[in-house]
Amino acid sequence: MKTSRIPGFYKMTVDERQELIKEMHPFSEQEKDEFFSISPLAIDTADNMIENVIGTFQLPLGLGLNFLINGKDYVVPMAIEEASVVASASHIAKIVRQAGGFTTEATGRVMIGQIQVVGCTDFYVAKEAIITEKENIIMAANTAYPSIVARGGGVEDLEVRILNGDSDSKYGQMLILHLYINTVDAMGANIINTMVESVAPLVEEITNGKVYLRILSNYADRSLARAHCIIPPELLETGGFSGEEVRDGIIHAFEFADSDPYRAVTHNKGIMNGIDPVVIATGNDWRAVEAGAHAYAARSGAYRSMTTWSKDQAGNLVGELELPMSVGTVGGATKVHPLAKMALNILDIKSAQELAQVIVAVGLAQNLGALKALVTDGIQKGHMALHSRSVAIAAGATGEMIDIVARELVETKQIRVGKAIELVEKYTK
């Protein structure tokens, strides 16, 4: 039976881990050969994905373990170069698992296409004309992409507003249309752009204005995903710190980030340490997700914490994360990149909504891992211990020497390349 609880996984060799994953998932022989090859992304495929290709660039692909979300086990592929992220997320997922797991939900899969109209004789008359012709505009947009309509999606609504209507504005007036488009399981950029471009001439005719920009918005605030967890304080006990001390420290750390943008930026970067690796591994647009997440963190007018941490009446730690999540499970690199296909296979998800929920759960876990470390032993103790292997490799260590050098770096608390070079020279004499 598939489970995300795999004790001792980190102790296995890479070959042993691969064999275990092959046993857990119904890969075909062709998929096994492709997914687990030395270079899964063939150069011919890469050459057709972007321009001016000279090769491929690989990142480590690890598995986030122990995730129990809405009662379902998830093994989460994470593509990232930074040490300690996968370990931290897995550690916290184990704690939350003991507390009953994460609960998540997602809103509808509605993305936004924008159309900018300038030069109207009367912007308020033009706005009313758009509202009057709303159904015709929606019909024209859906006609431009019938396949998404056939899958149950398409334009569901239209909104229009006037920007810079104030005479004191330093910018010119413009009319902005929002097409609200259900993209089903696609991220939807091509769908949205096709639709807004197709109706631009009709909008010009209705408004007697000039259309310039017609493009999607990556601020997907109608495609939200939420994660929630409740953790009894006894599960947070660490070394000489009581669970209550850790809980209170985490809440104070959140309050710091929610009050100060200098702290919020680093706090939120830690959340994205969990989110981006899953977005990348599944072939989704991590730049779009990043942009939308940071914009959402500033929706109050100030840049604030993406997460919230509080204490309930029973004294439990309560964590929440809500973000726009413009991801897909069809189209783009999700069906072109072999490792993206493998990642989706391992996740065993049924929809883009489900993927979005898994992603925010990982983000919440990663944030808790960072905060728990910060309010107890500090961030460096665990991070640098894991980073020591990379330092050893950078100093020229290979094979078994990597572990020997890394261990001595940790023991001497000198995790730096200069010290590692000394050790490599010492053991190779």
User: Which active-site residues does the annotation give?
Assistant: 82, 269, 285, 383
Task: Give the length of the chain.
Answer: 429
- Side-chain-side CA neighbours of 61 within 13 Å: the count stands at 24
- Decide: 389 and 423 in contact? Cβ < 8 Å: no
Q: How far apart are CA 76 and CA 276, in angstroms?
A: 12
Q: How far apart are CA 100 and CA 329, in angstroms?
A: 27
Ordered DSSP codes for 350-377 = -SHHHHHHHHHHHHHHHHHHHHHHHTTT
The first and second tokens of residue 378, run together, are 């500090």
| CA dist list (Å): 144 to 36, 196, 283 | 40, 9, 26
| CA dist list (Å): 238 to 67, 362, 365, 370, 381 | 21, 21, 17, 14, 13
SS3 for 182? Answer: strand
Q: How far apart are CA 276 and CA 359, in angstroms?
A: 9
- Side-chain-side CA neighbours of 391 within 13 Å: the count stands at 24
- Decide: 175 and 160 in contact? Cβ < 8 Å: yes
- Decide: 63 and 78 in contact? Cβ < 8 Å: yes
Q: How far apart are CA 352 and CA 187, in angstroms?
A: 8
Q: How far does CA 411 lie from the centroid of its chain?
A: 35
3-class secondary structure per residue, 104-173: EEECCCEEEEEEEEECCCCHHHHHHHHHHCHHHHHHHHHHHCHHHHHCCCEEEEEEEEEECCCCCCCCCC
Q: How far apart are CA 356 and CA 86, in angstroms?
A: 18
Look up residue 160 and give its amino acid.
V
